[in-house]
A and B are shown apart, each in its own frame.
Chain A
């Protein structure tokens, strides 16, 4: 069966420090991968998605970047964190390219920027 992992589970970082969050999927190949951010009291905002290695699409301009160095690995990064980067970051995957596909979510990373 397929599983999705995210780490770390929680992270407290000072403003201006770098960030690297990792997401990996097991049990499938060539997944579509997604990064979302969930700010306190708000819904989910799609940040990035990827349909293949090295292929990244950004949804909103921001202080973050994403990379996909391997088929089942998706990384969210920042060179210098801002207070507004705090939130709950969720990674998700789907197995194909159809609009009816189900997105499966990872357990999330709670990021607090102080």
Chain B
């Protein structure tokens, strides 16, 4: 069964610093992977997704993620953090059931300090 592990429930960075949010997946078949962002009291917004085309995926707001099969990872990065990046980030894997069904990680809250 597919699953997702997000290491670190909270990550703190300074404005302008590198952002690295970790996601490891478990899947018996090639996975489809997603990163979503959630601002306080709002729904989730898609940042980017991996669908087996390019292993380096670029998303919105300057974020990108690299699919590494050997490490079963799909870490999210951004070269320079902005105050507006403070939010909760969720990694998710899509179950290959012929019907889109996501399994989410427990989320990582990104804190950005001036």
A-binding segment of B11-19, B62-70, B72-80, B94-102: B94-102
When distances are taken between beta carbons in the complex, the residues of chain A under 8 Å from B99 are 32, 49, 51, 97, 99
The majority secondary structure among interface residues of chain B is strand
Distance in angstroms from B61 CB to nearest chain A CB is 16
When distances are taken between beta carbons in the complex, the residues of chain A under 8 Å from B41 are 88, 108, 110
Cα A90 to Cα B9 in complex, Å, equals 21
Cα A106 to Cα B44 in complex, Å, equals 8
Q: Given A32-B100, A44-B90, A46-B102: A102 and B46 within 8 A (CB)? A: yes
State which of A96, A97, A103 has its C-beta within 8 Å of the C-beta of B102: A103
Q: Given A90-B44, A105-B44: A99 and B97 within 8 A (CB)? A: yes
State which of A42, A99, A103, A106 has its C-beta within 8 Å of the C-beta of B96: A99
When distances are taken between beta carbons in the complex, the residues of chain B under 8 Å from A106 are 43
State which of B36, B43, B106 has its C-beta within 8 Å of the C-beta of A108: B43
Q: What is the interface residue range for chain B against chain A?
A: 20 to 34
When distances are taken between beta carbons in the complex, the residues of chain A under 8 Å from B42 are 107-108
Q: Given A88-B41, A92-B43, A100-B51, output 10 extra A-B contacts at Cβ < 8 Å.
A: A32-B99, A43-B90, A43-B104, A43-B105, A49-B99, A94-B100, A99-B98, A99-B100, A103-B100, A110-B41
Sorted nearest first, the 3 A-B pairs with minimum C-beta distance are: A105-B43, A43-B106, A101-B100
Residues on A facing B (Cβ under 8 Å): 32, 41-44, 46, 49, 51, 88, 90, 92, 94, 96-108, 110
Residues on B facing A (Cβ under 8 Å): 9, 32, 34, 36, 41-46, 49, 51, 90, 94-102, 104-107
